[in-house]
Amino acid sequence: AQSVTQLDSHVSVSEGTPVLLRCNYSSSYSPSLFWYVQHPNKGLQLLLKYTSAATLVKGINGFEAEFKKSETSFHLTKPSAHMSDAAEYFCVVTANYGGATNKLIFGTGTLLAVQP
Amino acid sequence: DAMVIQNPRYQVTQFGKPVTLSCSQTLNHNVMYWYQQKSSQAPKLLFHYYDKDFNNEADTPDNFQSRRPNTSFCFLDIRSPGLGDAAMYLCATSNHYPREGYTFGSGTRLTVV
């Protein structure tokens, strides 16, 4: 079975400072991992994905995440926060096994606030 | 650009009055999903179509139905909306096994009055 835990429900940073959003996963199979961002009243936008290639994944808008199997983590980082980064972020896992359609398992989300 | 389009963006319906939400895609993905997302919560999968095969989640109320007349379109029907059905409804698509992730539409915000 797959699950994902986002360790912080709210994170507040100042503009220009680093962002760290934490995510731990559990998976019986080799996982695919994703980070999605959702701005208020908008749909979900894919930030980046890990699908068993390079463990350091670069995404859009300067975000990146590192897959650490030994720590079962997939934390999202950005060197310098921008006001436009304020949004809800979801860590998502799915399993890499064949057969029936694999479902996405969502974390509970982290609300990122960026202070001027 | 290939995309997933949801109409309308905002929908207001009366308590108990049937409502239909629409989703279309130009990606030619064979799987289409409907999610319900209530305020400050993660999206919850209601059901999905794998080609023409309908797959309902065990805890999806009977009040929610779906239709997929062709590859491009999928509809969510709420037969008798209650106040508790007010939420953002998200449509998503994927190509076979979603190792590459899903593509989401912008969502429809449903208000029940």
Secondary structure, 3-state, B31-100: EEEEEEECCCCCCEEEEEEECCEEEECCCCCCCEEEECCCCCEEEEEECCCCHHHCEEEEEEEECCCHHH
Are the beta carbons of A43 and B99 separated by less than 8 Å? no
Residue A21, classed as helix, strand or coil, is strand
Cβ-defined contact of A102 to B41 (cutoff 8 Å): no
Closest CA to B76 of B29, B28, B37: B37
Q: Are the C-beta atoms of A57 and A68 separated by less than 8 Å?
A: no
| Minimum CA–CA partner of B40 in chain A | A109
pLDDT score of B51: 92
**pLDDT, position A36:** 95
Query: What's the gap in Å between the CA of A27 and the closest CA on chain B?
Result: 14
The predicted-structure confidence for A60-116, as pLDDT tens digits, reads as follows 999 999 999 999 999 999 999 999 999 999 999 886 555 555 678 899 999 999 999
**CA-based torsion, B44, B50, B51, B55: positive or negative:** negative
CB pairs A-B closer than 8 Å: 63
Nearest to B66 by CA among B58, A62, A35, B56: B56
pLDDT band at A54 (very low <50, low <70, confident <90, very high): confident
Distance from chain centroid for Cα B109: 11
Best mutation site among B99, B106, B109 for testing chain A: the one with the most A CBs within 10 Å?
B99
Phi first, then psi, for residue B96 (nearest 5°) are: 55, -125
Quick one: CA torsion of A51, A102, B46, B1, rounded to 10 degrees?
50
Question: pLDDT at residue A2 above 80?
Answer: no
A109/B55 touch (CB, cutoff 8 Å), yes or no: no
Residues composing chain A:
116
Q: How confident is the model at residue A42 (pLDDT cuts 50, 70, 90)?
A: confident
**What are the residue ranges in chain B where pLDDT is below 70?**
1-2, 97-99
Measured between CA atoms, the residue of chain A closest to residue B44 is A106
Nearest Cα of chain B lies from the Cα of A96 at a distance, in angstroms, of 7
Query: Minimal Cα distance from A88: which residue of B?
Result: B40
Q: Which residue has the higher pLDDT, B78 or A2?
A: B78
| Inter-chain CB proximity B100 and A43 less than 8 Å | no
